[in-house]
Amino acid sequence: MPLDVRKIYKSYDNAPLLKGVSFSVDSGETVCLLGRSGSGKSTLLRIIAGLEQPESGTVLWDGVDLLNTPVHERGFSLMFQDYALFPHRSVEQNVAFGLRMQNLPADTIHSRTMEMLELVHMADFARRRVTDLSGGEQQRIALARALAPRPKLLMLDEPLGALDRTLKQSLLDELRRIIRKANIPVIYVTHDQEEAFSIADRLIMLNAGEIEQIGAPEDVYRHPGSLWVAGFLGLGNVLSGSVVSPSNRTVSVSGCIVNMPECKPLPEAGGRVNLLLLPDVPGLKIHRECDAPDPGQPGLNLHGTVSESVFLEGKYRLTVQTNTHTLQFVSQARFNSGDKVTIHYPSEEVQCL
């Protein structure tokens, strides 16, 4: 792994911010640090860049310790949320800035600058002042400037955070294309789940300065490693169950006995466990009460009333109120508010957190 971050600790005002964070980034891989504001994401980037020093731990590049290496000698690029463009310079001059700091020949600087502007589809704006650009255009120029010196590692700190939702959506695909074409390791910091899932090869879920889970976006979504991860991703549908038999892996929840798949060890009989029901899984069936299946059918059968039905991209997001929980599921069929329904949830899809 080119980048290896090992056991980073950092405190502010005697309060721990980073608590032994360790992870790695492979060649050409985009890793996303995903967590709430204040979880230590940006501080971690600044430590990797060399702008701050940790209290303990180390940052390695190809096995070489970088903690005593100055910022300008690390060969990394860090793009900030506010882009930090020079307002008195043109687009071309902004992109060329890092190349001039490398004392490269003028023709090399010009050709590389234009190459980067072509990459971000902004070559026609080379003579413009950056103050005449829209927020999305400024974001592209900032990215071109970060990529121009051919960094060994690109770090993006909330790069779309200042943009409105519509513009953010249109730029996500473009940003992914540019990152893939650059083919360098990338650390992408965000608190926005949609950005993270669109961009990342791997997610690092950071909570209060500690890593909760690392994995591919689909794996993290399908198998959240903790109650916090499930809650942060908005997966919801967490039910409390009581262990009937640890050896038989049976749990009682909402009046049903569910056979748990082989996952985490269960506590002793009578112990409480948190069970996760994802909103859209294979085998999930939602019926109006008049069409409900035989109650003896294996699985978890929940009864409730639809309180909201929202049409989203060809499907319906249903909010169902049971006697004890407010749950959300995805349905291909339309239901109306007030409909009495039975949700059949297959045992093999129930997860133990």
User: pLDDT by residue for the chain (353 residues), tens digit each?
Assistant: 699 999 999 998 888 999 999 999 999 999 999 999 889 999 999 999 999 999 999 999 999 999 899 998 999 998 877 777 888 889 999 999 988 888 889 999 999 999 888 888 889 999 999 888 888 888 888 888 888 899 999 999 888 776 666 667 767 787 888 888 888 999 999 988 888 998 999 999 999 999 999 999 999 998 898 889 998 998 878 888 888 888 888 888 877 788 877 667 787 888 888 888 999 989 899 988 765 555 556 678 888 999 999 998 789 999 999 888 889 999 999 999 999 999 988 888 888 88
∠ CA 102-108-110, nearest 5°, is 100
Task: Quote the radius of gyration of the chain (alpha carbons, Å).
Answer: 25
Estimate to the nearest angstrom the gap between the alpha carbon of 301 and the chain centroid: 32
Could you give all domains of the chain from N- to C-terminal order, each with its CATH number?
3-231 (3.40.50.300), 238-352 (2.40.50.140)
- pLDDT at 136 (0 to 100): 81
Query: Smallest Cα–Cα separation from 125: which of 93, 156, 86?
Result: 93
Distances (CA, A) of 276 to 207, 227, 243, 261: 19, 9, 15, 12
Spatial CB neighbours of 59, under 8 Å, sequence gap ≥ 6: 3, 4, 5, 6, 8, 47, 48, 65, 66, 67
Strands (E), the chain: 3-12, 15-25, 30-34, 56-61, 64-65, 76-79, 153-157, 186-190, 202-207, 210-215, 238-245, 250-253, 256-259, 272-276, 285-288, 300-312, 315-321, 326-331, 340-345, 351-352
Global pTM?
0.83
Tokens of 158: 């909330």
Distance between CA 342 and CA 227 in Å, rounded? Answer: 26
Distance between CA 102 and CA 93 in Å, rounded? Answer: 14
Tokens of 69: 């290496």
User: Measured in Å, how far apart are the chain's first and last C-alpha atoms?
Assistant: 30
What dihedral do alpha carbons 131, 133, 135, 136 form, nearest 10°? -150
Distance between CA 181 and CA 170 in Å, rounded? Answer: 18
What are the φ/ψ torsions at residue 87 (nearest 5 degrees)? -65, -25
- pLDDT at 263 (0 to 100): 63
- H-helix segments, the chain: 41-49, 71-74, 91-101, 106-119, 135-147, 165-182, 193-199, 217-222, 227-232
Contact 329, 286 (CB under 8 A): yes
Contact 277, 304 (CB under 8 A): no
- pLDDT at 177 (0 to 100): 84
Tokens of 283: 């085998």
∠ CA 248-252-255, nearest 5°, is 140
- pLDDT at 229 (0 to 100): 93
Distance between CA 224 and CA 233 in Å, rounded? Answer: 9
Distance between CA 24 and CA 244 in Å, rounded? Answer: 41
Tokens of 47: 């430590």
